[in-house]
Structure 1
């Protein structure tokens, strides 16, 4: 009976330890993009809005996601220059929004226009680029999707694209987006 009591005590202690442990909070994935087997951090997001360009539908907005080494110099709400060294991906989106990035799924548009809302056209990625000397190789997207969601003040952006050499550019970004109005 003493052995049984000892085992029962050990089992109860083990259960108490397990129930006393808090579950770790769910860890969100890092903001990164991958290309050719290599991972690149993403730290900043911005939207550059250009407004409507008929005959295209919606507003033209450039979504620009960058690493921490890429800096934006602005004069008020207008971009003055982009400088630094790092990685970036740019998507030219056609959105319903005005002054904000519209939540939804965007697909690459192969046509020559007019472009429809919830599509993206010109898009490229650069890696280890110098934005001052313009030393960079652009990898233009030829297909893919961009998904935009919002979680409170943060945007959650996932993308999965193919660039012109046939390689995949895939990524995830979770963070605030700074808005720049470049309309004339």
Structure 2
């Protein structure tokens, strides 16, 4: 057994056999809504050429180009993700410990409104571990075309509260 496995892990998104480096992530609190259980947090990861800026309205804007993967997660807390496994759930009301949807975009560019390079996640699990502000997140999903969508991210997540201006 190799005890150095964790040292070799890098932040990445893998779609089929194509792998992309991930460099940052955000959590956006969308509050509790529509009879769903728990708090809706958007979890989004970005590749290194995408820059994140505070939009002064509780959210963020992005610029640059690269890859993005996003999940709509339901958790018990409005400022962080609970540790555990989040499973895909495709019908509401959504339960704590699930994610309602996911999508990813390969080759995103600001101003490109095309959806030709955006794909839905239709099944899978997300594993979340947290130690203070640092997360360790593993993605094991499938997209609408049957491709494996896997990933790993270890690091802090920027937090935004979209409910603060509601």
- TM normalised by structure 2 equals 0.89
Aligned to 1:155: 135
Aligned pair 1:65/2:71, yes or no? no
Where do 5+ consecutive residues of structure 2 fail to align? Answer: none
Aligned to 1:81: 61
Displaced runs of 4 or more, over 4 A: 23-26
What is the root-mean-square deviation of aligned Cα atoms in Å? 2.0
Aligned pair 1:145/2:117, yes or no? no
Match of 2:17 among 23, 26, 37: 37
- TM normalised by structure 1 equals 0.81
Shift of the 38–98 alpha-carbon distance from structure 1 to 2, 3 Å rule, reads same
The C-alpha deviation readout for 1:78-134, integer Å capped at 9, x for no partner, is 2242221000100000110111122211000022x1111110012101111113323
Shift of the 26–82 alpha-carbon distance from structure 1 to 2, 3 Å rule, reads closer
Shift of the 24–162 alpha-carbon distance from structure 1 to 2, 3 Å rule, reads closer
Q: Counterparts of 1:179 and 1:144 in 2: how far apart (Å)?
A: 24
Aligned to 1:119: 98
Aligned to 2:33: 53
What SS does the corresponding residue of 1:98 show, helix, strand or coil? coil
The structure where helix makes up a greater share of residues is: 1
